[in-house]
């Protein structure tokens, strides 16, 4: 038998996507590609392209991302502080500027 109750008696919970929960559970210091892109003020596709980049001998150009977070079949590539340092060297320690601001 179904019991009918007032809607105020029901506690509404918001369900987060599995990827969101996995990202929120990452230990301090580990960043996603989107977070790394924001840190260096570049497009996320730039970070993804660098992750796939090869040198002239066919070897990987960067170690980054060197880790992955996995939960079931869900895999999220994560960047360690060392990976971020490697990319900072590539970007020449670029100082992020505020989006939309123009240099005079």
Q: In angstroms, rounded to a whole number, what is the distance separating the alpha carbons of residues 58 and 102? A: 39
Specify the pLDDT at position 8: 86
Evaluate whether residue 19 is within a structural domain: no
**For the chain, what is the domain count?**
1
Has residue 21 been placed in a domain? Answer: no
Domain encompassing residue 78: 27-90
Identify the DSSP state of 31. Answer: B
How high is the mean pLDDT in each 10-residue block of the chain (104 residues)? Answer: 85 85 93 94 94 91 92 94 92 62 52
Q: Would you state the pLDDT for residue 97?
A: 54
pLDDT for res 52: 93
Say which residue the tokens 């038998």 belong to.
1
Residue 18 lies in a domain: no
Residue 77 forms part of a structural domain: yes
């Amino acid at each position: 038998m179904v019991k009918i109750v007032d809607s105020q008696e029901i506690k509404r919970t918001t369900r987060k996507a599995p990827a969101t929960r996995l990202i929120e559970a990452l230990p301090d210091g580990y960043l996603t590609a989107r977070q790394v892109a924001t840190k260096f003020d570049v497009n996320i596709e730039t970070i993804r392209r660098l992750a796939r980049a090869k040198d002239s001998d066919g070897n990987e150009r960067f170690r980054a991302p060197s880790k992955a977070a996995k939960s079931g079949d869900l895999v999220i590539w994560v960047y360690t502080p060392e990976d971020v340092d490697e990319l900072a060297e590539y970007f020449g320690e670029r100082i992020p500027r505020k989006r939309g601001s123009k240099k005079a």
